[in-house]
Amino acid sequence: GEDVEQSLFLSVREGDSSVINCTYTDSSSTYLYWYKQEPGAGLQLLTYIFSNMDMKQDQRLTVLLNKKDKHLSLRIADTQTGDSAIYFCAEIYSSASKIIFGSGTRLSIRP
Amino acid sequence: DVKVTQSSRYLVKRTGEKVFLECVQDMDHENMFWYRQDPGLGLRLIYFSYDVKMKEKGDIPEGYSVSREKKERFSLILESASTNQTSMYLCASRTRKGGLGGELFFGEGSRLTVL
């Protein structure tokens, strides 16, 4: 069935890079997304990648897509305290309009 | 800016009560979604709607129903609330214009506690 998996927690030191990983199941997914949820708030789109791309870079964010292994990662360079949040990986199924989310990775920053 | 507004941030209801969660978006989006968010389980899709009066079951529709009589409004209904429906409920919307990749815009969530 449809599934998106992420590890639940990640702790990094301020200034280091954070890498959040995600695996998905639908090889026909056309778009894959990263959403960020800050405490007490809804989700906001951080970045997305189209399935015919391997990499997308946007300032401190780098998204890598390995379509063969159905693996998506989000790298945050120079992690700051403001990056503390839950990060959700999501995929859209081309056969339908529904978007499936992973369990979310809670990123915490150590001083 | 797109705004998705959920009518109640916090609700406390009793087992067996009927509960309405309202969601309104102001950008003429065709698609609207209801998710529930539980720790360790992420967001699970309850129902979604392609357009007015159209609805599709998501992954966990049991115990829920929805209504989309107007394009801007998507309501989630718990006919008889149970304690296992205590959760955070998130509404989202997006446009289909431009293809499948439209961004999902979320409301701030409604935290429901069923006693």
Q: What is the pLDDT of residues B11-21, one digit of tens each?
A: 999 999 999 99
In this predicted structure, what is the pLDDT of residue A89?
Answer: 94
Who wins on pLDDT, B69 or A31?
B69
Q: What percent of chain B has pLDDT over 90?
A: 74
In this predicted structure, what is the pLDDT of residue A40?
Answer: 81
Nearest to A42 among B33, B40, B107 (CB): B107
Amino acid at the residue B62: E
In this predicted structure, what is the pLDDT of residue A108?
Answer: 96
In this predicted structure, what is the pLDDT of residue B96?
Answer: 74
Determine the distance in angstroms separating the CA of B113 from the nearest CA of chain A, rounded to an integer: 16
- Torsion angle in degrees (nearest 10) through CA of B50, B53, B59, B63: 160
| Confidence band, pLDDT 50/70/90 cuts, at residue B102 | confident
Nearest C-alpha neighbor of B32 from the set B63, B76, B64, B81: B76
Mean pLDDT of B88-111: 83
B47 close to B58: Cβ distance less than 8 angstroms: yes
Are A101 and B56 in contact (CB < 8 Å)?
A: no
The vertex-A99 CA angle with A93 and A102, nearest 5°, equals 110
Are A100 and B45 in contact (CB < 8 Å)?
A: yes
Q: What percent of chain B has pLDDT over 70?
A: 94
Are A42 and B108 in contact (CB < 8 Å)?
A: yes
Q: What percent of chain A has pLDDT over 70?
A: 92
In this predicted structure, what is the pLDDT of residue A13?
Answer: 97
In this predicted structure, what is the pLDDT of residue A3?
Answer: 81
Kindly give, in sequence order, each residue whose CB lies less than 8 Å from that of residue B8, ignoring residues fewer than 6 positions away. B21, B22, B110
User: Is residue A98 less than 8 Å (CB to CB) from chain B?
Assistant: yes
For testing the chain B interface, which of A101, A105, A106 should be mutated: the one with the most B CBs within 10 Å?
A101
Nearest to B104 among A2, A45, A50 (CB): A45
Nearest C-alpha neighbor of B92 from the set B27, B40, B38, B42: B27
Are A35 and B104 in contact (CB < 8 Å)?
A: yes
In this predicted structure, what is the pLDDT of residue A50?
Answer: 87
Determine the distance in angstroms separating the CA of B29 from the nearest CA of chain A, rounded to an integer: 13
Cβ neighbours of B31 in A, within 8 Å: 97
Length of chain B: 115
Compute the mean pLDDT over every residue in chain B, rounded to the nearest whole number. 92
Residue B100 has pLDDT above 60, yes or no: no
**Rounded CA gap, B31 and B93, in Å?**
5
Cβ neighbours of B59 in A, within 8 Å: 2, 100
Compute the mean pLDDT over every residue in chain A, rounded to the nearest whole number. 89
